[in-house]
Amino acid sequence: MARVGFIGLGNMGGPMAANLVKAGHEVAGFDLVPFLCDEARKAGTHVADSAREAAKGRDVIITMLPAGAHVLSCWQDIVPHVAPHTLMIDCSTIDVESARAAHDLAAKAGLASVDAPVSGGTGGAKAAPLTFMCGGAPEAVTRSMPVLENMGRKIVNCGLAGSGQAAKICNNMILGATMIATAEAFVLAETLGLSHRALFDAASTSSGQSWSLTSYCPVPDLVPTSPANNDYKPGFAAALMLKDLKLAQQAAQASGATTPMGAVALQLFQLFAANGHAGEDFSGIITMLRGQ
Ligand code: NAD
């Protein structure tokens, strides 16, 4: 079992750290929010006084923070103080450029590192069916697996530094666009007098099938796991979808890729969030598409 430092004990990091404790790892954690530190303590995490303290003498350090700037500032703070054998893993969703800069910081200090953003949301963080998308040197990714396996079900080795983040933003661009397409199809079905059930039964067994339809259906009472059944309480907040679509467009512009569907999805989620729905589940965009 490993000695793990876990920095960022929020909606995702809190339950992920708790799963490491359950698996028998010795976890030292830190968050800027005292309430989250108390919750982590109750779950068996040793709470440190600072990120640097949580990182000292650890085999593995995991960061789960809001954005690239937080990750870089945290890594700049802790990297000079960690043990030489430490493996650095960032599980946050951040821009590819910052992910590569974090790898560079670790490499300059002689440390192995992995970018390992997750798919699966807060439900996945608690019950551990997360998918990790990993980028880094092959030996570093291999070293990360025994720890990541205790927090998720699937670990995908996506390639070198930054590739995990690249996979994550490509995946979520697909998700944002397919959710809008699925929601639009239900809105069209409503105007054509086609029942939700009929469209679901037809499309879920035809070429319109997707995760957005069969696992996260944007209309209620068809899929037990849909936030639509709970008045679009997250789930995966529209604000987080918006963040990921922005990261995708930023990466597309920087790399010269043409992603018009991703660009339109970004505009629609910007409008949805600006209309006061940032905290709702992203599948709630169907209400905006109905003109409500
Ligand atoms: P969150 O805001 O709940 O948690 C982030 C935590 O980081 C906060 O508790 C904050 O206090 C802490 N923090 C910020 N700076 C810190 C510092 N310097 N030292 C210590 N703690 C610090 O966010 P979350 O929902 O847990 O998401 C974390 C990451 O995972 C984000 O990058 C997000 O995009 C990604 N993600 C979230 C979901 C989801 O459904 N919530 C799903 C997949 C990926």
The per-residue pLDDT for 234 is: 77
Q: Is the pLDDT of residue 245 over 90?
A: yes
Rounded Cα gap, residues 232 and 78, in angstroms = 39
Selection from 45, 53, 55, 48 nearest residue 25 by Cα: 45
Predicted pLDDT at 284: 98
Residue nearest to atom 13 of ligand 1 (CA): 8
pLDDT of residue 129: 85
pLDDT exceeds cutoff 80 at 124: no
**Residue 24 clears pLDDT 90, i.e. is over it:** yes
Is residue 109 scored above 90 in pLDDT?
yes
Final residue of a structural domain among 113, 132, 161: 161
Q: Taking the CA atoms of the chain, what radius of gyration do you get in angstroms?
A: 20
Say what the pLDDT of residue 62 is.
98
Distance 244 CA to ligand 1 centre (A): 13
Question: What's CA 62's distance to the chain center, in Å?
Answer: 14
Using the mean position of ligand 1's atoms as its centre, give its distance from the Cα of residue 14 in Å: 9
Task: Give me the pLDDT at residue 9, please.
Answer: 98
pLDDT at 123 over 90: no
Q: What's the mean per-residue pLDDT of the chain?
A: 96
Query: Is there a contact between 259 and 253 (Cβ–Cβ < 8 Å)?
Result: no
Task: Say what the pLDDT of residue 128 is.
Answer: 74
pLDDT per residue over 127-144, tens digit each?
878 999 999 999 999 999
Is 168 tagged catalytic?
Answer: yes
What's the average model confidence in pLDDT over 260-277? 98
The whole-number pLDDT of residue 127 equals: 82
**Residue 12 Cα: closest atom of ligand 1:** 26
CA 244/CA 133 separation, integer angstroms: 15
- Residue 66, pLDDT > 90, answer yes
- Considering the domain architecture, whether residues 117 and 95 belong to the same structural domain is answered as yes
CATH number reported for the structural domain that contains residue 214 in this entry: 1.10.1040.10
Q: Is the pLDDT of residue 292 over 80?
A: no
Find the residues whose C-beta lies inside 6 A of ligand 1: 7-13, 30-33, 36, 51, 64-66, 70, 74, 92-93, 118, 121-122, 236, 240, 243
Residues 6 or more apart from 64 whose CB is under 8 A from it?
6, 7, 8, 9, 10, 12, 13, 16, 91, 92
Is pLDDT at 121 greater than 90 in this prediction? no
Of 161, 195, 220, which residue is a domain's last?
Answer: 161
What pLDDT does 19 receive? 97
CA of residue 289 to ligand 1 center, whole Å: 29
Is 132 within 8 Å of 148 (Cβ atoms)?
yes
pLDDT at 237 exceeding the cut of 80: yes
Domain region containing 284: 166-289
Beta bridge pairs of residue 28: 5, 46
Residues 22 and 146 in one domain: yes
Residue 152 and residue 79 share a domain: yes
Mutate to test the pocket of ligand 1, among 6, 12, 225 (most ligand atoms within 8 A of CB): 12
Q: Looking at the structure, do residues 24 and 157 belong to the same domain, yes or no?
A: yes
Taking only the tens place, the pLDDT of each residue in 246-268 is 999 999 999 999 999 999 999 99
CATH number at residue 20: 3.40.50.720
pLDDT of res. 4? 98
The tokens describing 135, both together, are 């980028």
Please report the pLDDT score of residue 126 as a whole number.
80
* Residue that finishes a domain, picked among 134, 161, 188: 161
Of these residues, 42, 168, 233, 243, which one is catalytic? 168
Which long-range contacts does 50-53 make (Cβ < 8 Å, 24+ apart)?
51/7, 51/77, 51/78, 52/77, 52/78, 52/81, 53/28
| 102 shares a domain with 185 | no
- Nearest partner of 212 among 259, 251, 245, 173, judged by Cα: 173
3-state secondary structure the chain: CCEEEEECCCCCHHHHHHHHHHCCCEEEEECCCHHHHHHHHHCCCEECCCHHHHHCCCCEEEECCCCHHHHHHHHHHHHHHCCCCCEEEECCCCCHHHHHHHHHHHHHCCCEEEECCEECHHHHHHHCCEEEEEEECHHHHHHHHHHHCCCEEEEEEEECCCHHHHHHHHHHHHHHHHHHHHHHHHHHHHHHCCCHHHHHHHHHCCCCCCHHHHCCCCCCCCCCCCHHHHCCCCCCEHHHHHHHHHHHHHHHHHHCCCCHHHHHHHHHHHHHHHHHHCCCEHHHHHHHHCCC
Q: Closest by alpha carbon to 159, among 131, 137, 132?
A: 137
Q: Do residues 63 and 179 both lie within one domain?
A: no
- Mean pLDDT confidence for 162-184: 98
The fraction of the chain above a pLDDT of 70, given in percent, is: 100
Mark whether 44 and 123 lie in a shared domain.
Answer: yes
Mean pLDDT of 32-39: 98
pLDDT tens-digit readout, 183-235: 999 999 999 999 999 999 999 999 999 999 999 999 999 999 899 999 999 78
